[in-house]
Structure 1
Amino acid sequence: MLAPFGERLAAYVIDGAILGAVAAIYTIPLIIYVTAQAIALSGPDGTANPDAAPGFIASIFISVGATFVLGLVISYLYHVEFVLRSGQTPGKRFMKLHIIRLGTQPGQAISRADAAKRWGATIGLGLVPFANYLDGLWQLWDKPWQQCLHDKAASTTVVKVSPVSSTARPGGVFQ
């Protein structure tokens, strides 16, 4: 049975909450560091020190860039590695959903390339204003597989499965 829109959306929200919590772990210390640096570089009256501004601005750009790259790496590991191991992210597992390649059965793993295509399409569409909404809503009118755009990029779809078939593949996770 193809996964209903509401259940896919719930899985997406769960995964977003998990990734948001992880992002907070490394972003909050960065915000504290940048704020402390700004306070330390200001004059006694609270005004900015013009001599320190270029170095401070450079450190902000480096910090934001590093945070962005770290976020991409964590997102890739989350969305690709979980799918490789069990065909599910934690949100999909909670909702009893499974990602399959078209023409295969639940329980059969999709390839790393397929998982990376799904992730890459999601990231790419997220860079275009409003395209991420179109990506998620696409399944509402797509027939017959109810695919989102990122599913189409990897020839995958999401199905509802019983709790028994939502476990990792037998014989180990790296087969």
Structure 2
Amino acid sequence: MSTEQPQPGPGGEPERNRPPDAEPGRHRPVDPANSRDPGLPPAPPPPAAGDTTGVAGVGGADRYGSNPYGGPQGAADPLAGMPPLAPLGRRLLARIIDMLVVGIPMTLLLWPIIGAYDFDDGGGGEGYLRQAVIILVYFVYEGLMLSARGQTLGKMAMRIRVAMLADGSVPQGRPGWLRAAVYSLPQLVSCVGFVFWLVNVLFCTWDQPYRQCLHDKAARTVVVTAR
């Protein structure tokens, strides 16, 4: 019979009495990266540096909702970070209000000087002079208002505004005056001016994706809803 005693292990207790999980190499720290349930699909890798896919405001979505203007392949929204485009009905009502704001006072002021509108005049002589004065006053009115805040009184009432297409800023200076000039001044030319004005104001009904009139394209502006 052997009288040899079991040798103590590294921890001071006999090797044969050490529990299985206490054997060297059997007990390892848990790796958090491998702690998922093996029945679940692997976790997606973290996004690479500079990858903005799926980030709000980038790749076709912004704080105003989904991408209504981007291309079919998910192109970035050209108006990302800007309010939605203004409805055409509100734009029309804003123009009507502005015409009344300018037209009524100017007609009353010109009445003692030029006289009442004479339908038998056929638009010549005094009728053309009255129309030219009103058009010029409307041009100055719109140019000043757009350069100052991107809104006329009509646009303020309809809660819409004119914004630069590039960054949504107020069309201060040249863009505001250019937009007002392309809308108003061609009407000073008899017949041809009216045709241009008609095409201009209707252009936004078929223009995509910005719904611009010709005066918007000239000034590189869009009409959006105001907050």
- TM-score normalised according to structure 1 size: 0.67
Higher Rg: 2
Note if contact 2:204-2:211 (Cα within 8 Å) is conserved in structure 1: yes
Kept after mapping to 1: 8 A contact 2:135/2:185: no
Whole-Å separation in 1 of the counterparts to 2:114 and 2:129: 13
| SS, match of residue 210 in structure 2 | coil
Q: Distance in 2 between matches of 1:68 and 1:112?
A: 26
Task: Between 71-80 and 16-25, report the one with greater CA deviation.
Answer: 71-80
More relative contact order, 1 or 2 (CA 8 Å, 6+ apart): 1
- Alpha-carbon distance between aligned partners in 1 of 2:185 and 2:132, rounded to the nearest angstrom: 15
What is the aligned partner in structure 2 of residue 28 from structure 1? 111
Structure 1 spans left out of the alignment, 5+ residues: 34-60, 163-175
Number of residue-to-residue matches in the alignment? 134
Is it true that 1:134 corresponds to 2:199 in the alignment? yes
Shift of 1:26: 2.0
- Offset at 1:119? 1.3
Contact 2:136 2:185 in 1 (8 A): no
RMSD of aligned alpha carbons? 2.5
Structure 1 residue ranges (4+ consecutive) displaced by more than 4 angstroms after TM superposition: 63-70
Which position in structure 1 is the counterpart of 2:151?
88
Q: Quote the offset at 1:31 in angstroms.
A: 3.4
Paired residues of 1:3 and 1:97 also in contact (CA < 8 A): yes
Which whole-Å CA distance do the structure 2 matches of 1:130 and 1:68 have between them?
A: 16
- Name the structure with the higher helix share: 1
Deviations 1:71-113 (CA, angstroms, capped at 9, x unpaired): 34422321011112211000000000110111212xx221211
Q: Find the residue that maps to 1:99 and give its secondary structure.
A: strand
Where does residue 171 of structure 1 map in the other structure? none
CA distance in 2, matches of 1:124, 1:74: 11
Partners of 1:125 and 1:135 within 8 A in 2 = no
Matches within 5 A, 1:107-146: 108-126=169-187, 127=189, 128=192, 129-146=194-211
For residue 100 of structure 1, give the secondary structure of its aligned residue in structure 2: strand
The residue number in structure 2 matching 1:78 is 141
Alignment partners' CA distance in 2, 1:73 and 1:133: 18
> Percent same amino acid at aligned positions?
28
Residue of structure 2 in register with 1:11 after alignment = 94
- Tell me: CA distance 1:74–1:124, structure 2 relative to 1, closer, same or farther (3 Å): closer
Give distance in 2, aligned partners of 1:125 and 1:87: 22
